[in-house]
Amino acid sequence: MKKRIKSKKQLIAIVEKNLAKTIDKLFRKLHKRAKTKSGDIDPIQIMELEAISEQLVSLIAEQVWQNIES
């Protein structure tokens, strides 16, 4: 049984961990499907992905937290 989320900080950590896993899984799946040998990502793409990930973590955590508080 999973523990109940008790703080927004805990929720953000959970979202960050799961989002990173999901993004990595998606990249692997798409590279496999495209039959590419390398999944190299350039520095600009890394910065863009980090910015998007931060925004998505914030959005998901905020939406879930507002419903926990309700």
Per-residue pLDDT band at 1 (split at 50, 70, 90): low
Please measure the distance between the N-terminal and C-terminal CA atoms of the chain and give it in whole angstroms.
Answer: 23
- List the structure tokens of 24: 């990595």
Q: pLDDT tens digits for 4-56?
A: 898 999 999 999 999 999 999 999 899 899 998 766 889 999 999 999 999 99
- Show the domain range for 47: 8-34+42-69
Element (H, E) at 60: helix 43-69
Domain count, the chain: 1
How many Å apart are CA 57 and CA 16, to the nearest integer?
A: 6
The amino acid sitting at 5 is I
The amino acid sitting at 36 is T
Is residue 19, in this structure, part of any structural domain at all?
yes
Is residue 16, in this structure, part of any structural domain at all?
yes
Is residue 29, in this structure, part of any structural domain at all?
yes
CA angle at 10 for the pair 13 and 2, rounded to the nearest 5°:
100
Is residue 3, in this structure, part of any structural domain at all?
no
Is residue 28, in this structure, part of any structural domain at all?
yes
Is residue 64, in this structure, part of any structural domain at all?
yes
Is residue 1, in this structure, part of any structural domain at all?
no
